[in-house]
Amino acid sequence: MNSQALIRVIATREFMTRIRTRVFVITTALTVIAIGGYILLQAYVFNTSTSSLEVGFVGAAQSISAPVRAEAAGFGETINVRPYTSAAAGKADVQSGTLDALVSGSGAGTTMMVQSKVNLTLETVLNDVVRGRVLDQYLTKHRLPPSDVDGQLAFSVSVNELSPVNAARVEQIVIGLLVAGVLYVTMVIYGQLVAAGVIEEKSNRIVEILLATVRPWQLMLGKITGIGLVALVQVVLIAGVALVLASATKLVSIPTLGIDVVISGVVWFVLGYLMYALLYAAAGSMVSRQEDVASVALPVTLMLVAGWIIALTVAAPDPGSPATSVFSFIPLFSPVIMPVRIAAGLAPFWQVAISVVLVIATIYILVAIAGRIYRNSVLRIGGRVKLSDALGLSSSGKPVV
């Protein structure tokens, strides 16, 4: 069998073995349930942007129902007007909870009845409308045309925003940061899983049997590919459920999310996983005990953590800054920085292409380096293998014979 066929066989075995485990099924199901529950809570419990108030108007107060509803709409508040002929009936509905507020009286004697807490927007709008009515009556009584006075007051204070906030851009950045966060968490979890898998085969001596028929780099790439496919399936399942629920509950729209963000998320996951999985596999081959996974993989994990911190502190606040652009070209940071820039619409295609080429070139270099470390370390049982020995160098820097 040629190398591609061998890698495919190893990857298929790794994929089928891990995807059938209870751990994969349970963790995927729990994650889907958790994310689905969070989205539903945000849409139907914590989301008050589309609130609607049932407000009753009785007697003379019915004359201000239309302007109150119109002005409240300008504040993003929907008011359903319910006329009443009896204050007692309105009070009973307020007490039963079917009515949010009951407005009665006129002018300075206007009263609003609520059960326990008044809606601040409704209170502000009601005060504004009633005061306007009282002012009009006063002006008419003193033979001053209200329209002339209203014309003098028909202005707004102009606002000069030095750094205007684009609401759509903010939402895009948040989406990009979420994509980067998912990639970061997935690469950490499955990268360490690669290291643990290498140590497991090394400690139980299975690797010695496997290396009798395949080359070390073929075994390493097959394991990385198989575990990566498991990770990809899990990410696609979770992201698909989250996207469907978020779209159905109107928390996010498909045009806002952007097909480019989805595609870039998949591409950067594949590239980022391959790059870091090679490092994790090389690190895992240098020890023989599962207890040593965390310590040997710490330098690799710290690089991922550094990328995520940069995404939070540099890329998210200003995705168009020169610093963000520079970091997005550094291969080890690109998988968590570039998705933020792409989601914000601030990454030209040529920059994305250059970043992808740099990451692919880094992967090719890491295949050679990680393959050498894996080949020189995976059969060594006992203590931790020194990096110089893993690279095939003696203490003098010369190749070991």
Does the pLDDT value for residue 400 go beyond 60? no
- Mean pLDDT in residue range 358-381: 87
Element housing 354 (H / E): helix 349-377
Residue with tokens 């540099």: 314
Mean pLDDT score, 160-174: 62
Side-chain-side CA neighbours of 361 within 13 Å: the count stands at 10
3 state DSSP class of 47? coil
Q: Angle 239-245-248 (CA atoms, 0-180°, nearest 5)?
A: 135
Judged by average pLDDT, the poorest of 4-8, 150-154, 308-312 is 150-154
Q: Is the pLDDT of residue 305 over 50?
A: yes
The HSE-up count of residue 360 (CA atoms within 13 Å, CB side) is 7
Q: What is the pLDDT of residues 118-141, one digit of tens each?
A: 888 888 889 988 888 888 888 888
Question: What average pLDDT does range 35-57 have in this prediction?
Answer: 72
- The per-residue pLDDT for 399 is 44
Euclidean distance between CA atoms 277 and 300, whole angstroms: 9
Residue position matching structure tokens 């575990």: 227
Match 């209870």 to its residue by tokens.
Answer: 22
Which amino acid would we find at residue 87? A
Structure tokens, 73 = 């709409």
User: Are the CB atoms for 292 and 384 separated by under 8 Å?
Assistant: yes
Query: Which H or E run includes 380?
Result: none
Burial code (b: 16+ CB inside 10 Å, e: under 16) for 326-353 equals ebbeebbbbbbbbbbbbbbbbbeeebbe
Average pLDDT rounded to a whole number, residues 380-389: 78
The Cα–Cα gap between 15 and 231 comes to 10
Q: Is 230 exposed, middle or buried (0-12, 13-18, 19+ CB in 10 A)?
A: buried
Residue 142 token pair: 């003193």
The highest-level CATH class for domain 52-149 is alpha beta
The helix (H) or strand (E) run that includes residue 165 is none
For residue 312, give every residue at least 6 positions away whose Cβ sits within 8 Å of its Cβ, in sequence order, or none: 177
- In this predicted structure, what is the pLDDT of residue 250? 64
Collect all residues with Cβ–Cβ distance below 8 Å to 174 and sequence separation of at least 6.
none
Which pTM does this prediction carry? 0.66
Percent of the chain with pLDDT strictly greater than 70: 86
Q: Which residues contact 71 (CB under 8 A, 6 or more apart)?
A: 125, 128, 129
**pLDDT attached to residue 252:** 57
**Residue ranges per structural domain of the chain:** 3-37+167-390, 52-149
Residue 398 has pLDDT above 50, yes or no: no
Residue-wise pLDDT for 280-300, tens only, equals 988 888 887 777 778 888 889
Q: Are 94 and 114 in contact, with CB atoms under 8 Å apart?
A: yes
Sequence-ordered alpha helix ranges (H) in 249-330: 254-257, 259-284, 293-310, 322-329
Q: Tell me the average pLDDT across 243-247.
A: 73
Report which of residues 156 and 121 the model is more confident about. 121
Instruction: Say which DSSP state 286 is in.
Output: T
Q: Distance between CA atoms of 372 and 156, rounded to whole angstroms? A: 71
Q: Stretch 216-231: mean pLDDT, rounded?
A: 87
Q: Return the ∠ at Cα 239 (arms to 234 and 242), rounded to 5°.
A: 130
271: which DSSP letter? H
Query: How far apart, in Å, do the first and last CA atoms of the chain sit?
Result: 30
Decide: helix, strand or coil at residue 391. Answer: coil
Check residue 291 and give its pLDDT.
79
Residue 255 reports pLDDT greater than 70: no
Average pLDDT over residues 81-107: 90
Position 136 scores a pLDDT of 81
3-state SS assignment for residue 228:
helix
Cβ–Cβ under 8 Å, residues 61 and 73:
no
Please give the average per-residue pLDDT across 391-399, as a whole number.
Answer: 57
Using 50, 70 and 90 to split pLDDT, how confident is the model at 57? Answer: very high
Q: How confident is the model at residue 77 (pLDDT cuts 50, 70, 90)?
A: confident
Distance of alpha carbon 184 from the chain centroid: 11
Residue 333: per-residue pLDDT: 93
Residue 51, pLDDT above cutoff 80:
no
**176 compared with 80, residue with greater pLDDT:** 80
Q: What is the pLDDT of residues 306-362, one digit of tens each?
A: 999 998 899 888 888 899 999 999 999 999 999 888 888 888 889 999 999 999 999
Helix (H) and strand (E) counts for the chain?
A: 16, 4
Residues of the chain with pLDDT > 90, as a percent, come to: 19
- Tokens read off for 364: 């090719």
**pLDDT for 325:** 92
- Phi and psi at 17, nearest 5°, equal -65, -45
pLDDT of 256 strictly over 70: no
Cα(164)–Cα(321) distance, integer angstroms = 16
pLDDT at 396: 44
383 φ, ψ to 5°? Answer: -75, 180
